[in-house]
Amino acid sequence: MLFSEVIDQQTAKEKLLLMAQQQRIPHAMLFREPEGCGGLPLALAWATYVLCEHPSKTDACGECANCRKMAQLMHPDVHFSFPVVPRKPGSEPVSDDYLAEWREFVGVFPYGDMQDWLLQIHAENRQGNITAAECREIVRKLSLKSFEGGFKILILWLPEYLGQQGNRLLKMIEEPPENTLLIFISQQPQRILGTIASRLQTIPLVPLAPEAITQALITRANASPQLAAQIGLAANGSYRQALRLLHDTHTNWQENLRNWLNAIARQQVNTLVKWIEETGSSKTGREQQKFFLQYFLNLVEKALQAHYVPAEQMHLPDSEREFVDRLSKLLSFNQLTTLSDQLNQAIYYIERNANARLVFHALTLHLRDMLISPVDTR
């Protein structure tokens, strides 16, 4: 994995490169990411850069022996640790038991989450964790000499699944052997043991920009530009969510949104009743309902920006740009701000299993108050 293969996260990349150039690489780091935003790919790119024999100012060469070994996740000085489940009842598993599955997982789901991983290893209803045996194995591995004579690196994915057994790693974190680099990647940093988190230097990652997700879907997943743009606006900054939507969605959110707003503006009560019934039904599913609202929310936020930046300067497809331009002219800045708050609240309620029909009914009433005169949003 190279920095060039990591979607966005330019600020984090620049910070890491500056550390390398100034030869001030911390021995213990925490990559703190919102789920699906690239913590693992960035950690792999960072490890590749540190080990690269001929790095440039911006990336690893990708061609030297170390880079080739990293591309296959088979470098002898790079160790991986991650949550696992027992293969046999009563056994205490370690990450090496699942190395083959791990390499396959990283190749297919580099932006994956715990749910993806548990499916990969057929965990069924069992909960994964990083065991005391794994902590002992980490200490043993990092106490050995480097095979290649350079850095020894531990990439520990999801340290939030370390219980109190994680305290076994404290001495290693505080006083690591020479040329040892520990990289922790967390999607829920608030759950990490405080004794561990306080000893790590944090590299924060941010949600991916909609345009970055859109471009990645087009170039990496062969999505059509129109669908990629809609998903980019709905994925809430997560490339993993974007991929799920790409494979699961069968709805044109923009068309659905136009139908809703036009029916409200024209006061077509029967149409609205049918729309709320269909969109709020269990058949649609809470994930699709949430992503539809997130898509609308992102368009509203773009309309807010349009009060300062012309819509044609935004990275949006023509259809979305026209929609945003229309919305920014139709509603005042204060109305758009209020609508943004209402959509955020609706997403909150949907996530907590509120009655979706009631949520969409309430939103319809709020929008009716804003859309005083009939409007065609096309």
DSSP string over 51-74: H-SS--SSS--S-SHHHHHHHTT-
CA–CA dist 303, 104 (Å, integer): 42
DSSP calls for 213-238: HHHHHHHHH---HHHHHHHHHHSTT-
Strand pairing partners for 259?
none
Sketch out the chain's domains with CATH numbers.
3-204 (3.40.50.300), 251-370 (1.20.272)
| Cα dist from 290 to 223, 254, 280, 287, 298, whole Å | 21, 14, 10, 5, 12
pLDDT at residue 82, rounded to an integer:
97
Residue 129 phi/psi, 5° resolution? -155, 170
**Does residue 131 carry a pLDDT above 90?**
yes
Task: Please give the order of strands across the beta sheet that includes 28-32.
Answer: 78-81, 152-157, 180-186, 28-32, 201-204
Question: What is residue 307's predicted lDDT score, i.e. its pLDDT?
Answer: 79
Find out whether 221 and 246 touch, Cβ atoms under 8 Å.
Answer: yes
| Mean of pLDDT values over 289-311 | 84
DSSP characters for 68-125? HHHHTT--TTEEEE--B--SSTT----GGGGHHHHHHHHHH-TT--HHHHHHHTT-TT
Asked which of 237-246, 316-325, 354-363 is least confident by mean pLDDT, the reply is: 316-325
pLDDT at 378: 43
Predicted pLDDT at 90: 78
